[in-house]
Structure 1
Amino acid sequence: MDSKIKYSLISAVFLILSGCAAVTESGYYWGGYSETYYDYIKNPSEQTLNRHAEELYKIVDYSQKKNLKVPPGIFAELGFIKAKLGAEQESIAFYRQESALYPESQPFIERLIADSKKGTL
């Protein structure tokens, strides 16, 4: 086999497999969640928080486009970020999405909604 063809074939297989690696065995797409969350925790700032929130939106968008279930906690975390920023209605909407997707989270989500309405987050 010609070395150029062999190299092209190996490259194509690698690209296909690396594209699949973005989804975990459990079927969730986490994108760059770990990196942006770690960056925010290590260096809390408006910039790192915004970068993390952008990554959460990307995870939701990618999951929906690929017909995957949004990973647990993503909508709740977006709700928490919105609550911290004072956007109560947006916060509650994200909390409700989390609760609808993961009904077992409802008691926790209801507590977050109550705290959000009281402004204690």
Structure 2
Amino acid sequence: MTKQFLFTLSMCVLMTGCASHQGLYDWGQYQETLFVVYQEPALKEEALKNYVDFVETGGTPQHPIAPGLYAEAGTFMLEQGDVDSAIRFYRMEYDAWPESRPMLSTLIKNLEARQ
């Protein structure tokens, strides 16, 4: 009976841990957006607008925006020719994730020099 009790208890703990896992970061609809951007050109504009809106307003202190998502939004803006918005998103990434600063500082400086 003790083995069965321990097994049941361990299964309950395991299932509870799996059910409550929310991840460290807020990814929003990142994967879906990438799919639409590269596979569904007719829906690209709407997907990018939704993605940018998410990045601008998403995240919480418990689940911040995932690393790289601000920079990805900046790259989307740069591809559309909106350099000012690209720089703004790159700065958001720079501020949020210190490990990205060496690359982003160079990128931001180069974009500002071109303006």
TM over 0.5: yes
Determine the structure 1 residue equivalent to 2:98.
Answer: 103
Contact 1:29 1:59 (8 Å CA) reproduced: no
Identity of paired residues, percent? 25
User: Which of 87, 91, 107 is the equivalent residue of 1:92?
Assistant: 87
1:62 aligns to 2:66 (yes or no) = no
Matches within 5 A, 1:1-121: 23-24=22-23, 27-44=24-41, 47-64=43-60, 67-117=62-112, 118=114
Which amino acid in structure 1 is aligned with residue 83 of structure 2? E
1:57-112 alpha-carbon deviations (Å, 9 max, x no partner): 32552314x65321101111111122222222221111111011111101211232
Which amino acid in structure 2 is aligned with residue 99 of structure 1? Y
CA distance in 2, matches of 1:44, 1:112: 27
Q: Secondary structure at the match of 2:94?
A: helix
CA distance in 2, matches of 1:31, 1:112: 25
CA distance in 1, matches of 2:75, 2:31: 17
Contact 1:98 1:105 (8 Å CA) reproduced: yes
Give 1:49 shift: 4.5
Q: Secondary structure at the match of 1:77?
A: helix
CA distance in 2, matches of 1:39, 1:68: 25
* Structure-2-length-normalised TM-score: 0.65
